[in-house]
Amino acid sequence: MDETNMTAAEMLAHVNTAITTVLCGGQSYKIGSRSLTRADLAMLKSMRDDLEAQLATEESGPLLGRTYVAFFDGR
């Protein structure tokens, strides 16, 4: 999986899956001499917030996308 070619929506889906995995399966576990530690939940939530903000910006367009400027000369 090459994250440089993923869209923000695709990344968000992966981050949400990772958050669910941590919440349901735990942060880390050990079987015999092997152990697995998943991504930090706080980091995943921060990434999710950033990606959601990015998607909201893409959907709404530029900050002042529907703004028009009018000049009125005084008389």
The confidence score (pLDDT) of residue 75 equals 67
Distance CA 57, CA 49 (A): 12
The confidence score (pLDDT) of residue 58 equals 79
Instruction: Provide mean pLDDT across the span 1-15.
Output: 85
Q: Say if pTM beats, i.e. exceeds, 0.75.
A: no
The DSSP symbol for 69 reads: -
Could you tell me the pLDDT band of residue 65, with boundaries at 50, 70 and 90? low
pLDDT tens digits, one per residue of 11-35 = 999 999 999 999 998 888 889 999 9
The most distant pair of C-alpha atoms in the chain lies apart, rounded to whole Å, by: 86
The confidence score (pLDDT) of residue 41 equals 92
The DSSP symbol for 36 reads: E
Angle at 71 between CA 57 and CA 65, to 5 degrees: 10
